[in-house]
Amino acid sequence: MTSETRLRLGVNIDHVATVRNARGGAYPDPLRAARIAEAAGADGITAHLREDRRHISDADIEGLMQVLTVPLNFEMAATDEMQRIALRHKPHAVCIVPEKREERTTEGGLEVAREENKLAHYIAPLRAAGCRVSIFIAADRRQIEAANRIGAEVIELHTGAYCDAFAEGRMDEADSELDKLREMSAFAHELGLEVHAGHGLSYDTVSPVAAFPEVRELNIGHFLIGESIFLGLEPAIRKMRSMMDAARA
Ligand code: PXP
Buried b (16+ CB within 10 A) or exposed e, 61-90: beebeeebebbbbbbbbbeeebbebbeebe
Q: Which atom of ligand 1 approaches the CA of 48 most closely?
A: 8
Span 203-242, pLDDT tens digits? 999 999 999 999 999 999 999 999 999 999 999 999 999 9
Ligand 1 pocket by Cβ (under 6 Å): 12, 14, 48, 75, 95, 97, 106, 136, 156, 198-201, 219-223
Span 73-98, pLDDT tens digits? 999 999 999 999 999 999 999 999 99
CA atoms within 13 A on the CB side of 67: 17
Is the separation of the CB atoms in 77 and 96 below 8 Å? Answer: yes
Question: Ligand 1 centroid to 228 CA: how many Å?
Answer: 17
Q: Which residue segments constitute the domains of the chain, with CATH numbers given?
A: 8-248 (3.20.20.70)
- For residue 52, pLDDT over 80 is answered with yes
Query: What type of residue sits at position 238?
Result: R
| Mean pLDDT on 17-33 | 97
Span 126-142, pLDDT tens digits? 999 999 999 999 999 99
Span 53-68, pLDDT tens digits? 999 999 999 999 999 9
Residue nearest to atom 9 of ligand 1 (CA): 199
Q: Which atom of ligand 1 approaches the CA of 198 most closely?
A: 10
Q: Which atom of ligand 1 approaches the CA of 222 most closely?
A: 14
| Mean pLDDT on 14-31 | 97
Q: Ligand 1 pocket test: pick from 96, 143, 216, 222 the residue with the most ligand atoms within 8 Å of its Cβ.
A: 222
Question: Ligand 1 centroid to 44 CA: how many Å?
Answer: 13
Alpha helices in the chain (DSSP H): 14-23, 30-39, 58-67, 80-89, 116-128, 141-149, 160-167, 171-191, 206-210, 222-231, 233-248
- pLDDT at 103 (0 to 100): 67
- pLDDT at 100 (0 to 100): 74
